Amino acid sequence: MRSHACASQARLRAALAEVHGERASLSEELRRLRTLSDEQRASEEEQHAAINAAALRRQHAADEAMRAVQLVAVCERELKRLKSVDVLSDAFAIDLEGPIASINGLRLGRQSGVNVEWSELNAALGQVVLLVHTLGRLHLPAAAFSHHVLVPHGSLCRVYARKEPTRVYELHGSGRFGGSFFGASRLDRAQGMLLACVEELTIHAQAHFDPHATSVPPRPPHSLVELGSLVSSALDGKRLLAVLAWLLLWSRANRAAAKLGRAAA
């Protein structure tokens, strides 16, 4: 009996030892699985972070691409707008509406019942001289008029004939002196020389008229021969400014055609 009891105890101890061993193995496996789970969770979090970062980069790149497209569109619209802008037309705004025409808001000419001060007339003449002088430099051979030289100087412009450079005439007045110089006032003589410069421009423009420029009439709206005193007659001032407006249209078309020619070349 004692030997049988000893054998039973031995089997129980062996079974218990086996259970302890399996428990230790299970604990070790549990630690390994927890470690593996933690590593897998960390790996998944790292992958999710990488996916999120990649998605953010893609979104940022898409936003940058959209901004670039929008910027290009804005620049193209601005470039198109700037190409359509004519500096001369913006710099010299001619208004032919109303009884007295104006250039840059300055009236040129007088009529009954309307008081236009000499300061405004002189300033308007100054703008006219600067415009004619600029057109001459842009378009005429040798960038100069053949017989006269205009001297832009704000409201105190002057003009002289090339063959008589020492005889300078004032393209401004005050109304205080009505004297004559060889039968004509100095201002009238100066205005005549100015009109001769404008006439030279119109002749040049008609000789170099682009038949494809359908927005520009082939001839100026008025003859300059019939014009008299620009400062005394609102009608003559308006007719001169109408001719200058035509010259601005021609100049714009002429320069546009020249740009197209250079681009084609």
Q: Output the pLDDT for position 30.
A: 81
| Nearest C-alpha neighbor of 125 from the set 93, 100, 98, 158 | 158
The sheet carrying 158-161 orders its strands as 148-151, 158-161, 164-170
pLDDT, tens only, 137-196: 999 998 899 999 999 999 999 999 999 999 999 999 876 544 443 334 889 999 999 999
Separation CA 98–CA 201 (nearest Å): 26
Helix spans in the chain (H): 2-84, 87-91, 118-139, 186-207, 234-264
The DSSP annotation for 26-72 comes to: HHHHHHHHHHHHHHHHHHHHHHHHHHHHHHHHHHHHHHHHHHHHHHH
Separation CA 73–CA 68 (nearest Å): 9
CA 124 to chain centre: 27
Using a cut of 0.85, tell me whether the model's pTM lies above it: no
Q: Which residues of the chain have pLDDT under 50?
A: 177-184, 263-265
State the virtual CA torsion across 45, 48, 49, 51 in degrees, nearest 10: 160
3-class DSSP state of 111: strand
Q: Output the pLDDT for position 66.
A: 86
Give the angle subtended at the CA of 121 by the CAs of 117 and 125, to the nearest 5°. Answer: 170
Separation CA 8–CA 227 (nearest Å): 144
Show the tokens assigned to 168: 């300078």
The DSSP annotation for 196-224 comes to: HHHHHHHHHHHHT--TT-TTS-SS-SS-S
Q: Output the pLDDT for position 139.
A: 93
Separation CA 90–CA 87 (nearest Å): 5
Q: Output the pLDDT for position 131.
A: 97
How many residues in total does the chain contain?
265
Q: Output the pLDDT for position 36.
A: 82
